[in-house]
Amino acid sequence: MTSAALRSRAWKLLEMVTTPLLPSDYLDLVSPLRAGADLRGRIEAVHPETSDAATVVIKPGRGWRGHTAGQYVRIGVDVDGVRLWRAYSITSPTNRQDGRVTITVKAIPDGKVSTHLVRSTKPGTLIQLDQATGDFVLPQAKPAKVLYLTAGSGITPVMGMLRDIEFDDVVMVHCAPQPQDVIFRDEIHDLVADKKLRLTEVHTDADGMLDIARLDELVPDWAERETWACGPAGLLDAAEEHWAGHGVQERLHTERFRPSIVVAGDGGEVTFSATGKTVDADGATPLLDIGEEAGVLMPSGCRMGICFGCVTPLRAGAVRDLRTGEITEAEPGALIQTCVSAAAGPCDIER
């Protein structure tokens, strides 16, 4: 018998004697970041950035495969005994010497995970991690001219890029209510002082929201620049329209933190058959939120229709895709993304 086969048999025996807990469970207790464990991370520090944002330093477990600048990671955090998954852009450079990764989180009012991470997470906390993913990344061939158009916490994936790759000609337009709300302000002003970046800060409390047409004045050659934009839906919708209107939409790359919800209709009574709960739902609130609110364990990830971490069988009734208005009716094998689907009449989903 080879040593690999022996190890495998010994492992199986161990599993038999330790059931219902498996040996891997015991190992998780002593070595949660070991290779082969479900990917975890240990929070090592939380550094305040502004009054409502903080950078979280994570030591990933052995299975971490690294990231590309601009990508995001899904993390699973226990808040009040419930595991909640959210997506956060990685703000550390890809070649960080100590192997740690950082995310930078802005606490939003009533936000379960963001508030928890910014205000009450302690170093030493274990979280679940997924591998980094996302296509909001820089191309292999360096563009001659770059524009970063960001607002609020939308600066995070771009900070990951700025820390990773230098360009000869890079301009940033960043919006925040006031100077003290600009996350990474000192660092980006250092880049400006070193002539590595040209920056326009728009302070929306004083100047109002950025009118996208002002780009002609702020960045006269904006249409020639390969552009990465991240921020609230209003800014990104306006940018997409503007770039398309000038026939240069292929130069614009956007990252959204929330889905654009365009369609709503009548809701209905939602049954979570596996849990035995029934609640009324309007036609605009994602079933993911409805389920969580009702105390149903709902899997999730990005919460905006891109990761498929929330896919759930639809057993009866119909749901509406909030992005397109498309109706999905129950039939054998029907699956829905609960984060972008709302009740369209009574329905039963298998949670």
Ligand X SMILES: Cc1cc2nc3c(=O)[nH]c(=O)nc-3n(C[C@H](O)[C@H](O)[C@H](O)COP(=O)(O)OP(=O)(O)OC[C@H]3O[C@@H](n4cnc5c(N)ncnc54)[C@H](O)[C@@H]3O)c2cc1C
Which residues form the interface with ligand X (CB under 6 A)? Answer: 72, 86-89, 103-106, 108, 110-115, 134, 153, 156, 257-258, 302-304
Query: Using the rule CB under 6 A, which residue among 302, 322, 343, 344 binds ligand FES?
Result: 302
Query: Using the rule CB under 6 A, which residue among 26, 216, 308, 329 binds ligand FES?
Result: 308
CB within 8 Å of 272: residues ≥ 6 apart: 278, 279, 291, 294, 296, 348, 349, 351
Instruction: Between 115 and 300, name the residue whose CB sits nearer to ligand FES.
Output: 300
Kind and range of the H or E element at 230?
strand 226-230
Instruction: Between 307 and 314, name the residue whose CB sits nearer to ligand FES.
Output: 307
Interacting partner of 286 out of ligand FES, ligand X, none (Cβ under 5 to 8 A depending on kind) = none
Using CA atoms, how far residue 243 sits from 173, 183, 221, 225, 299, in Å, is: 16, 26, 12, 11, 36
Using CA atoms, how far residue 316 sits from 85, 123, 269, 349, in Å, is: 27, 45, 11, 7
Instruction: Between 91 and 338, name the residue whose CB sits nearer to ligand FES.
Output: 338
Instruction: Between 91 and 337, name the residue whose CB sits nearer to ligand FES.
Output: 337
The arrangement of strands across the sheet holding 170-176 comes to 198-203, 170-176, 146-151, 226-230, 252-255
Instruction: Between 105 and 236, name the residue whose CB sits nearer to ligand X.
Output: 105
Cβ 333 to ligand X shortest distance, Å: 27
Cβ 254 to ligand FES shortest distance, Å: 17
300 forms part of the interface with ligand FES (CB under 6 A): yes
Query: Using the rule CB under 6 A, which residue among 71, 114, 125, 337 binds ligand FES?
Result: 337
Site of tokens 């679940």: 128
**3-class DSSP state of 216:** helix
Q: What is the DSSP letter of 90?
A: B
Fill in the amino acid letter for 48.
Answer: P
Residues of this chain that interact with ligand FES (CB under 6 A) are: 300-303, 305-310, 337, 339
